[in-house]
Structure formats: structure tokens, C-alpha cells
Amino acid sequence: MIFRLLLRGGALGAKFLLVLAITHFLGYEALGFYGVVVAASLIASKFYSVGFSSEINRLISVGGSSRRVVDKVLLLYLGVGLLLSLATVGIYSLFQQVAASAVLILCVTLVLLSEHLSFEINSFVFSAQKATAGALLFFLKTGLWALLAVAGMLLGWVADIASVLWLWVIANLLVIGAGYLIVVNVHKGRTSQALATATVWKAGLPFYFGTGLIALSQYAERFLIADLEPYANLGQYVYAWSAANTLQALSYAVVAVVGIPLLAKQFQADQQAFTLRQLFINKWVMRSLLVSAVVAVLIYGFFNVVLDYVAIGVPRPDNAILGVLIVSFALRGIGDIVWGGLIASKNSRVSLASAALCLLVSVPVSYALIVHYSILGAAWGNVFAIVVQLAVIAVLTRATRTKKAVVSWA
């Protein structure tokens, strides 16, 4: 766990150095554009899976997958991802405020496609309980290329945002190749399962919609800010967001990637839907809170103590915005465990309903907050979205259990 923590911490440090370097060498406008690409890639990684991701990962976790089905799913990811990447970038390029060359548009298209494929294959590796290999690949796709980009800017070799994005694409391609070889090796020792691709799709479809809706609710504020505020303001928001996101990222890499496959095995063993207590009060949630608390102190100390002590001229995020986002990402770390528990227990109704209600309620509230309070309002909108999601999951889980108990008693 310590090794994975160091790798993830190093990757996050590298990504934050990249944010600093882009801010210093390319400016807040370039950082705003980078922030939009990051948001788009994260949303794409949820939607491009077309319904297979959650179920195929669950099957890999419990030893119920076959290489043939995995190969079919990856080929589908490639085809769908290419079409949707072209459509997404083509439509957005018609309305964006920043001028972009054809080469930059092509680069962003490849970022979306390669980020989706590398994310999925990396998740396969984690689901196969190859946590160390998964962590190494994750460091490559999130940290190593960022360090190379920072070094390139320091040496004057990387002079625009397109060069930064090309390095991202190359790193993703390396992860895709190495991750696939690991997945193939995992399935060599498994008995071939009579598993239809359509069965995997049907089981995973509700979680696909739910995950996509949650991604939209989490990143919608970036597109709202881009529409209502200058790109420089968006860049300042992305700067604070990148620092605070460390909490959720570390919690996920150290706690969730280990806990969620074990939750899947627990459900596979007893076939009993998780109770409210099992979802929200377990050792994985407690560990997530512990990681978040430690990281929050480190973030605050870095910006408000360390930088002042060493007198380095690094831009500081607004403490109010940073504090609000720290709360949001601590809650989102819990949300990762809870959502993973819903997938592990195949609780598709609660997952889809909670995600839909979260999006419907949170986006209008975020819009109103941004209109009245600018990027501080966006930060509060981020908190509001995760609170709504967790509250709805809790209410629906309890209501479902109560209904089943009443029916059983009758």
C-alpha cells in the first residue's frame, strides 16, 4: 500500500507541477483550455464504455470473465470511442472561444480516445487485483508524461498546449499496450466461461448511465464557467480544483482500487444486498476519510506555510475556493467507495436513480451559484452535487431495505 501511495502521490505531484508550469509558461488561458480537455476526457472515459465497464470489471474481480469477451469489449471501445471523439471535438470546436488549429483538434481527439482506452485497460488490471502493476501504469499515464512536459517547458522544448497534449497521448498508448499484455496473462490461467457479450452489456448498462450522469454533474461547472466567465477565471478555478482533487485521487488509488474488488467478492459469497451501514460505515470509508484528512492538512500547509517559508513565487489558489473544494473531494472519496459498493452488489436501481436526481438538481443550482458568486459559487456547486448524490443513495438504500422487510413480513 505504501508503494502505491508513493506512486500516486508522485503522479499527483507531477500533475500539479504541470499545472504550475502551464500557468507560468503558457498562462491562465492555456490552463483553462487544458482544464476543459481534462474535463472532456474524464467525461468521455465514462460515456465511451457504452455500458460494459462496471460489469466487465466486476467479472474480472470475481474470476468470471473470459479473454474472448474482454477482446470484444475492447474492440467495441475502440470503434465507439473513435466515432464519439470525432463527433465531440467537431461539435465543440464550432463553439469554443479559443482559436484552435486542425492539428490541435486532431490532438484533442486522440486524447479523448486514448484516455478512455487506457483508463479502461488500467481498470481491468486493478480489477484483476494486480494493484502494483496497475499503480505503475497509472503513474505512467498520469505522472511520468506530466514530468516530461514540465521538463520540456523548462528547457524551452514545449512551447504550446498542443505539445503537452501530444505527450499525454503517447503515455496513454504505452499504457494501453502494457496493460493489455497483463490482462491477457491474467486470463491464461482461467477456465473459459460461457459468457455472452450481450449479457455483460445488459448487466452494466444501468451503471453506465449512472456513472455518466455523475461525471456530468461533477464537471458541468467547468463548461458553465467557460460560458459565463473568461477563460482566465476558469484557469484559476482549475488551479484550485487540481490541488484539492489530490484528496479523491489518492483515496481512490490507495483505498478504492483495493476495497471495491473485495466488496465484489463479499457479495459474490453471500449474495445479500448491502445495507446502509455496510455501504457507508465500513473500513474502506474510514480509510478514505483518514487519507483525505492527512492530505488536506498537507495541502493547506504547502500553500500557506511551506511556500511562504521558502519564499518561492508560486501562485496561491484562493483559500476560500480551495477549502470548499477540499470538502467536496473528501466527500467524493467516500462516494467512490459507496458507488463501488452499489456496483459490487449489482444495485442498479439505486445507482441510476441517485445519479439522475443528482444531475437534475445540482446543475441548475451550480448555474445559479456561478451567476451570483463566480468561481466560488462553482466550488459550492461541486459540494452540493456530491451531497445530493450521497443523500439520495442513503435514502433509496434504506427505503429499499424497508420495503423488502415489509414484503417478507407480510
pLDDT tens string 147-200: 999 999 999 888 888 899 999 999 999 999 999 999 888 888 666 556 667 777
Cα-Cα-Cα-Cα torsion 233, 236, 240, 241, nearest 10 degrees, comes to 60
Q: What angle do CA 298, 307, 301 make, to 5 degrees?
A: 20
Domain containing 136 equals: 1-195
> What element of type H or E holds 257?
helix 257-270
**pLDDT value for 408:** 43
Considering the domain boundaries, does residue 116 fall inside one? yes
On whether the CB atoms of residues 48 and 183 are closer than 8 A, the answer is: no
Summarised one tens digit per residue, pLDDT across range 363-393 is 899 999 999 999 899 999 999 999 999 998 8
Considering the domain boundaries, does residue 202 fall inside one? no
Considering the domain boundaries, does residue 206 fall inside one? no
Considering the domain boundaries, does residue 300 fall inside one? yes
Residues 242 and 308 placed together within one structural domain of the fold: yes
Q: What is the reported pTM?
A: 0.69
Residue 55: pLDDT band with limits 50, 70, 90: confident
pLDDT of residue 403 exceeding 60, the answer is: no
Q: Averaged over 87-92, what is the pLDDT? A: 79
Residues 162 and 259 placed together within one structural domain of the fold: no
Separation of alpha carbons 380 and 339, rounded Å: 22
Residues 181 and 39 placed together within one structural domain of the fold: yes
Considering the domain boundaries, does residue 151 fall inside one? yes
Residue 298: pLDDT band with limits 50, 70, 90: confident
Considering the domain boundaries, does residue 207 fall inside one? no
User: Domains in the chain: how many in total?
Assistant: 2
**pLDDT value for 409:** 41
Residues 98 and 66 placed together within one structural domain of the fold: yes
- Highest-pLDDT range among 17-31, 96-110, 127-141, 373-387: 373-387
Q: How many CA atoms lie within 13 A of 377 on its CB side?
A: 18
pLDDT of residue 269 exceeding 90, the answer is: no
Residues 158 and 278 placed together within one structural domain of the fold: no
CB-neighbour burial class of residue 225 (10 A; exposed 0-12, middle 13-18, buried 19+): buried
Residue 323: pLDDT band with limits 50, 70, 90: very high
Residues 59 and 179 placed together within one structural domain of the fold: yes
Q: Which of 300, 292, 384, 388 is nearest to 333 (CA)?
A: 292
Look at 192 and 291; give whichever has higher pLDDT.
291
Considering the domain boundaries, does residue 231 fall inside one? yes
